[in-house]
Structure 1
Amino acid sequence: MRHIYLINSDSRAAQYGIGTYIIQVINCLSSIDSLRLTVVSMNSEDGILTEKKDNNVRYLTFPKVYDWRSEKEIQRYYRSVAFLLALYVDSSEDNVFHFNYLHHEPLVDLLKKIYPTSQFVLTLHYLNWCFTLKGNIKRLQTVLDKAENDRTEEEKYIYDEYKQEVSFYRKVDRIICLAQYTKMLLNEFYGIEECKLTLIYNGLIDQAIFLGEVERMQRKRHLFFGEGEKLILFVGRLDDIKGIDYLIEAFAKVIKKSSNTRLLIVGDGNYSRYLQMSADIWSRITFIGKISKQKLYEFYQIADVGVMPSFHEQCSYVAIEMMMHGLPLIITNTTGLSEMIHHQNVECRLILKEDQNELRLSVEELSKCLLKIVTDDCWAREVGKLNRCRYKDAFSLEKMRMAFESFYS
């Protein structure tokens, strides 16, 4: 029987997209009778190694090590994990080790030595250079083309990260890409054979609850929003790469023409920077912070439009949640985000201007798109319906489960 070892790590990323992904993969794989599943979690706050079973899924939890000051200590931790894991791995099974983090490459090296006939899979959730360069592929090409002595310190760091990623990609047997864009990038910019690459979009179980207009107004009153207020919703980390500075600037233009509009910002991060940017329009922006999934879904039920002015995304769970709830969604054409919304919603896809130095988003275009949605209810409803259809066609949990069943068959 094929036995999947799903490798996870307690980290900030595990609290966001990767953590959601792990949960959905567990839902998918645990429902496939021909597979066994063990979830391996590292860096746990638990002080000891633990083993438990829940609904035919085995969970192995390895405690956190607090001394990460040197490469030597990191290697020692991964060696400990590899050899302790051997106590729980039946080498007679058809074992597959499924990784999700690029910094786990040392563990791949160790496990490949212990289990040379096993398969190694990586789901690629992020590309490190995208965070530094905001997904600017032209800038990456410029860095790669430069002679070593001509690179700045930042460019040397980017180049080293790129080479490290190439090394990891070549060590694994198969790579799951979350976007067609990423699959193209790995093939053309990293030289990874197309036969190693498989596209599997993220999926979510449908938990959307659609409120009638009366109930929706009651929910808005309960949360102390005005019944007539148009609510623009942003969900995500308060990081530069999410484009929040452009959003705040665009929103300032929107309220000059549609004063009964409010921007809701859900997520944690650098509050002080964005509060300072919002100084002249504080009364129209609500910083909600990080909230539970249940509470977040309440905001999806009352929002009029979702917005993601990001510079880098793969297959965003926030975008999937918004489409699942039938929200109109404004996005950029960055990396994997561009291919997510319905092809007919082209007006909601903003073009990032790209040159060799930076990517830029037009504040004017973003404000126009926001204004059109909050002032044209009929068009907004049609956009939302198309997004709901797109969710069901491409991003449901059943679609994801079928893709994984085919992948691991």
Structure 2
Amino acid sequence: MSNIFYFETPSEAFGHGVGSYTGNLLGAVERLDAPCNLYFVRLSFGKKTGFSSRKINHKRTDIDIVLNEAGIKKGQSEVGLKPMMARAIICLLSGFFDEKIKTVFHLNTVLQLPLADLANEYDFKVVYTNHVSLWRVFYSNDINAFKKDWKSTGPKEKKNIFFQSIIFEKKLCQQANHIISLSSDSSRFMQKYYELSDQNQVHLIPNGLISEVYNRNLNKEIIKSSLGFNENDFIFLYVGRLSEQKGVDILIKSFSKKLKSMPNARLLIVGKGNMEHYLSISASVCGRVSFTGYADKENIKRYYAIADAGLIPSMTEQSSFTALEMLSSGVPLIVSDIPAFAKPFEDKLNVIKVKTDSFGRVDEKNLSVQMLGLYQNQQLRAKLSENGQLLFNMHFTAKQMAEKTLQLYLS
């Protein structure tokens, strides 16, 4: 028997992929017949401290802890725990600890490092999921720039907040009994640079999605009409943050190159970001590009139902939930040829891969060619749709993710 404490800390990441990871993992673990108690600990900050717990079912208890917000700037989205905060959290949770039962802390961000320090002090086990490849984000995939700073011990590098985050991640990995990596690329990086005491600490467990056919019982024609599309419009769909890192600039430019050859093609962009910037980029083709802004899960299901092709032109990913949602929905998928989409993703078998440079930037011309090719080839779209669903079922279900993670909890 194990008591699993899964921690959620206020951060931008929990509003994106980490939040999806949490919902799918905890939901799938609950369904397994496993000898463990699951405690979902949500941390937040406010003027008044607080503590509450609610038993969800015989396996799961949700705990909310409100910490004092003193010293936190208004609007600050990334809040790292301080050692005294971590010790207060341990005290508040003490009533749920049992000396006769193994205690496991599942951490998800470097912001939670002080909890790992205390877990080691109390002889608790630590499982850490590495959701973001920090060096890729902070150094824009420039490995030489990263290695230059990594080898340096100068004060400039020590003071750099981005570099410090990578140092904290290294410490967290060294504190963890088990590290969950979402991609082979990240596994190799941590094993090479983080001086782990045991290379077998790192376990490759890709993200998984609770099986759900997103377009089940949804009428494509009715949805298209309600959204202002024509029945014969060909919908290219992007879902995600609007940022350069996600390749949205290149996507819009690539789409605009082939419009004469795709007279009924429309680009539907779903997500938040610098809307003014992307509206200006698409001004010359504004009649063919639509922006929805933020969309909830129910509306995203509707967009998947009408999509003829999905697009993920990112510079860097770990294990994209958008990709999994599209695969499970049978949406033919075009992705950037980056490490996150290495095997089992196979070009022209279950996805279309677009050429990238050494920094992960998608080749604008090649993306437009691949978009046109998929637009013109209904047989290829049908093949990708069928094989994409097979790929999802073989490798990316939440049940598979939960079973592998549970093995780490109980080991």
TM-score, normalisation: structure 1: 0.90
Residues in 2 aligned to 1:88 and 1:160: alpha-carbon distance in whole angstroms:
33
Match of 2:199 in 1: 194
Match of 2:52 in 1: 50
1:110 aligns with 2:110: no
CA offset digits 1:203-243 (Å, max 9, x no partner): 1122115569x932232112221111111111111122111
Alpha-carbon distance in 2 for matches of 1:285, 1:178: 33
Whole-angstrom CA distance in 2 between matches of 1:346 and 1:384:
7
For 2:26 and 2:68, locate their aligned partners in 1 and report how far apart those are by CA, in whole Å. Answer: 26
Give the counterpart letter for 1:205 in structure 2. Answer: I
Return closer, same or farther for 1:47/1:270 CA change in 2, 3 Å cut-off: farther
The answer to whether the aligner puts 1:229 opposite 2:233 as a matched pair is: yes
**Cα pair 1:44 1:61 within 8 Å, conserved:** no
Q: Report Cα offsets for 1:335-368 as digits up to 9, x if no partner.
A: 42334634553871123211xxx54321000111
Q: Structure 2 counterpart of 1:389, which letter? A: L
Change (3 A) 1:158 1:15: closer
Task: In structure 2, give the amino acid aligned to 1:38.
Answer: Y
- Residue 373 of structure 2 corresponds to which residue in structure 1? 372
Inter-partner Cα distance in structure 1 for 2:269 and 2:158: 31
Measure the CA separation in 1 of the matches of 2:362 and 2:136: 16
Structure 1's unaligned 5+ residue stretches are none
Give the distance between the partners of 2:408 and 2:96, measured in 1 at CA: 24
Q: Distance in 2 between matches of 1:343 and 1:185?
A: 24
| Partner residue of 1:176 out of 180, 194, 201 | 180
Amino acid at match of 1:49: F
- Per the TM alignment, residue 131 of structure 1 is displaced from its structure 2 partner at its CA by 1.8
Write out per-residue CA displacement over residues 4-31 of structure 1, whole angstroms, 9 at most, x where no aligned residue: 1111124332222111111112123222
Q: Deviations over 1:121-159 (max 9, x none)?
A: 1011013222222333343234334x445x976995544
Match for residue 312 of structure 2 among 308, 311, 317: 308
Q: CA distance change for structure 1 residues 80 and 407 in 2, over 3 Å: closer, same or farther?
A: closer
Deviation for aligned residue 1:388: 1.0
8 Å Cα contact 1:32/1:405 also seen in 2: no
Aligned-residue identity in percent: 25
Deviation at 1:83, TM superposition (A): 1.9
Distance 1:36 1:20, change over 3 A: same
SS of alignment partner, residue 237 of structure 1: coil
Give the paired residue count: 401
Judge conservation of contact 2:314–2:362 (CA < 8 Å) in 1: no
SS of the residue 1:240 aligns to? coil
CA–CA distance in 1 between the matches of 2:43 and 2:135? 25
Assess, with a 3 A threshold, how the Cα gap between structure 1 residues 351 and 68 changes in structure 2: closer, same or farther: farther
> Larger deviation: 267-276 or 343-352?
343-352
- On the 8 A contact 1:347/1:369 being kept in 2, the answer is no
Give the direction of change, closer, same or farther, for the CA distance of 1:122–1:165 in structure 2 (3 Å limit).
Answer: same
Distance 1:248 1:62, change over 3 A: same
For the 8 Å contact 1:179–1:199, the answer to whether it is kept is yes
Give CA-to-partner distance per residue, 1:54-82, whole Å, 9 cap, x none. 12201111115433349998443333222
Cα–Cα, structure 1 residues 270 and 47, in superposed 2: closer, same or farther, change >3 Å? Answer: farther
Q: 2:128 aligns with which of 106, 122, 128?
A: 122
State the distance in 2 between where 1:405 and 1:97 align.
13
Is the contact made by 1:332 and 1:338 (CA closer than 8 Å) also made in structure 2? no
> Structure 1 counterpart of 2:70, which letter?
D
C-alpha displacement at 1:92, in angstroms?
2.6
State the 1:48 CA deviation: 2.3
The 10-residue stretch of structure 1 (318-327 or 63-72) with the greater mean CA deviation from structure 2: 63-72
Structure 1 residue 35 displacement after superposition: 1.2
Match of 1:329, as an amino acid?
A: L
**Secondary structure, in 3 states, of the residue corresponding to 2:209?**
coil
Please, what TM-score do these two structures have when normalized by structure 2? 0.90
> Which moved further from structure 2: 103-112 or 295-304?
103-112
Task: Tell me which of 53, 56, 61 is aligned to 2:64.
Answer: 61
2:327 — aligned with what? Answer: 323
Letter in 1 for 2:19: G
Distance (Å, rounded) in 1 between the aligned partners of 2:363 and 2:407: 41
Deviation at 1:39, TM superposition (A): 0.8
Give the Cα separation in 2 of the matches to 1:229 and 1:196: 50
Correspondences of 1:4-403 after superposition (within 5 Å) = 4-30=4-30, 31-43=32-44, 48-56=50-58, 57-69=60-72, 74-113=82-121, 115-116=122-123, 118-145=124-151, 147-149=152-154, 156-192=160-196, 193-210=198-215, 215-339=219-343, 341-342=345-346, 344-345=348-349, 348-354=352-358, 358-403=359-404
> Separation in 2 of the partners of 1:334 and 1:101?
23
SS at match of 1:51: strand
**Cα root mean square deviation, aligned:** 2.6
